[in-house]
Amino acid sequence: MRGHIRFSIGSLLATAIVVAALSLGGAVAKAQSLTWNPPCGSMTVYNLTGCQADLTMVMLSNGPVPPISVPACPGVVTVGLPSRVIIFSVVTQAGNQVPLQSPAPAFPPVFCPMVTPAPTTIADRWVQGVTLGPSGCCFDVYFYTTNDPVHQCTVFLTPGTAPCIP
């Protein structure tokens, strides 16, 4: 009986480990990098919030890409990028790396004069609820390469969805 109990506890533990691994595997499968250049030789960042943002990304590239500082709404900054840029994650104000996710949800309605993405366009990737410097505000970050015919090669910073990652 005693050996049978150990076997059952061992089996339960093994099952729990397999279930946890499968759950983690599902979460990791959603995280996806985004090839930016090509097709995009530049990046236009629109800040649709009332907070200034410093957008720092973890990427593979042929040259340095410094943080992109974008003023509050209707802040717009365009930067040139080196060739072969692949974006993996966004770096929060506290230095946490939050991976790009796919699929992205539809873009939420946000009021900021002069800038509106196509209403039915789905972003190529997104990052939900990240705290960016220097203001410490929370942002959702939407990455569009070619999905939006009006805003190709564009990143939108919108009010963040809680809970926000510091």
pLDDT in tens, 21-46: 333 333 343 789 999 999 999 999 99
Note the maximum CA span of the chain. 74
Instruction: Report the pLDDT averaged over residues 3-8.
Output: 39
**Average pLDDT score over the chain:** 80
| Helix/strand number for the chain, H first, E second | 1, 10
Report domain extents, the chain.
Answer: 1-30, 34-159
Judge if pTM exceeds 0.75.
yes
Reply yes or no on whether the pLDDT at 18 is more than 60.
no
Give the angle 145-84-90 at the CA atoms, nearest 5°. Answer: 60
Specify the pLDDT at position 164. 96
List, in sequence order, every residue forming a beta bridge with 97; answer none if it has no partner.
91
Specify the pLDDT at position 27. 38
Reply yes or no on whether the pLDDT at 17 is more than 60.
no
Percentage of the chain exceeding pLDDT 70: 78
| Per-residue pLDDT tens digits for 87-146 | 999 999 999 999 999 988 877 777 777 666 655 678 899 999 999 999 999 999 999 998
Instruction: Report the pLDDT averaged over residues 70-81.
Output: 92
Residue 44 CA to chain centroid, in angstroms? Answer: 16
Cα distances from 97 to residues 8, 117, 140, in angstroms, run 40, 26, 14
